[in-house]
A and B are shown apart, each in its own frame.
Chain A
Amino acid sequence: MFGELLGPKYLHWLFDGFVLTLILSLLTCLVATGLGFLLCLARISPSRLWSWPARAYLALFRNTPLLVQLFFWYFGVTAMLPEGLVMWLNQPRSLALGLFDIEWPSFEFIAGFWGLMLYTAAFIAEEFRAGVSSVRLEQRAAGLALGFTPAQVWRYIVFPQAVRTALGPLLGQYMNALKNSSLTMAIGLAELSYASRQVETETFKTFQAFGFATLLYVASIALIEVIGQGLARSKWYKQGVL
């Protein structure tokens, strides 16, 4: 049963799924980092007007499984939308941009991205917060005593150290986002795990199909790990120039 490998058709399926996984995770990480940073600022804000909504968001999104959240966005929300809008969202269409036609992302992709992004942002906010709280209060006081403005204290003292502490866990969250993207197959998104299931269904080469998918996941995450190690060793990081 390990003898035969997979035919070119099936490798092509897996590759298509892998590309979708990469696009989905990359988009998720980019947007979630921005949102996570804003959430972190809101969460540590002295004003309750900011910190309480941020607390509520973090609690809600961190404390329920991603799968349930994805079901909510895909099945729950569409049940509440007017029928015409759902039909419009589900129609395939493409944007003509000169020579290229960009295909409008499927509704599965939009729901998957939205759910995964909001979930990941909550965890990224917490990693930023851990980074900020690793900078001692005395350091801020010292900065102020040296005549820095509060903004300068943030820019030159708190932020560089916070990012340095948060970098490892942050990369960990990016890896999580990549792995979690596999759950979007539950709402019909044809990413890598879905592709491996599909190949398995057609060929019954279970171990080859899942083995190949595992390999692709491990390889792309190893790449993030290598980038992280590289960053941690760079002068840029050691000297705290950020």
Chain B
Amino acid sequence: MDFSVIGDNLSYFLLGAYPDGPLGGAALTLLLSLLSGLISAVLGLVLGIALVLLDGKVRWLLLGVLGFLRAIPVVMLIFWSYFLLPILLKVDVPALATVVCALSLIGGAYLAHSVHAGISSLPPGQWAAGKALGLSTWQVLRLIILPQALPMMLPSFLNQWITLIKDTSLAYVIGVGELSFVATQVSNRVMVHPTEIFLFVGLLYFVFCSSLDLIANRWVKPGAKTR
């Protein structure tokens, strides 16, 4: 084991070629996951509520789309949107936008089901009671259902966000210079230290994901007590 290779390339691992070139490395990983995390949370909430409120054909259509997004491996979705869209529609999607879109769509599809499951796990009497008090559907949802359902579903949200941070590494298929990608570049140049480099990369991901875990746990606890 020889960890000097980490020290020698530290700024490349953390920032990529920045400031002489585009931002990359761990900073890009964080940026990508932050953006897609936000978009997928909003998407998941909206679509999850739609699953609860809609019925009939529209709901089946939505289920179909969500099913497809959950079914396709992330790598494949990124690959297809990057290479196939330009050929089919003659639209050129930049690599970074492709990654954010693909990750948000897939994350949103998973979260939609979690939100739906959380809402459905509440007894139907909650809806009836809300309606009996003269509240509209939206008011019941906002004032009664969501405050109970969301804390319950937080573990699923966290699972999904943590998955998202790690999934940004799949951006390598289209040459986006995030953490795993720059690590591979360095590993290929020095040739003999893949173990050291990937242990270090694993550690970085561990720090990112665990701190998210810690912050989130602290944030969940007060809510759990009021139940």
Spell out A's residues near B (CB within 8 Å): 59-60, 62-69, 71-72, 75-76, 79, 123, 126-127, 129-130, 133-134, 136-137, 164-165, 168-169, 172, 175-176, 179, 182, 193, 206-207, 210, 213-214, 217-218, 221-222, 225
Contact = CB atoms under 8 A, between A and B. Distances in A.
Which 4 interchain pairs have the tightest Cβ spacing?
Answer: A63-B209, A221-B71, A68-B202, A130-B155
A231 to B, nearest CB: 13
B18 interface: no
User: Majority SS of interface residues in chain A?
Assistant: helix
Chain B interface mostly:
helix
Contacts of A69: 202
B205 A169 contact: no
Contacts of B166: 64-66
Contact of B194 (A60, A75, A179, A217): A75
A175 B113 CA distance: 13
Contact of B110 (A72, A130, A172, A217): A172
B180 A67 contact: yes
A210 B67 contact: no
B71 A165 contact: no
Interface residues of B, number: 44
B155 A129 contact: yes
Contacts of B155: 126-127, 129-130, 133
A172 B180 CA distance: 25
Contact of B169 (A59, A67, A71): A67
29 contacts: A62-B209, A63-B162, A63-B205, A63-B206, A64-B166, A64-B205, A68-B202, A71-B195, A79-B195, A126-B159, A130-B152, A130-B153, A133-B155, A133-B224, A134-B121, A137-B227, A165-B117, A168-B113, A168-B116, A169-B114, A175-B70, A175-B71, A214-B73, A214-B76, A217-B72, A217-B76, A218-B68, A218-B72, A225-B71
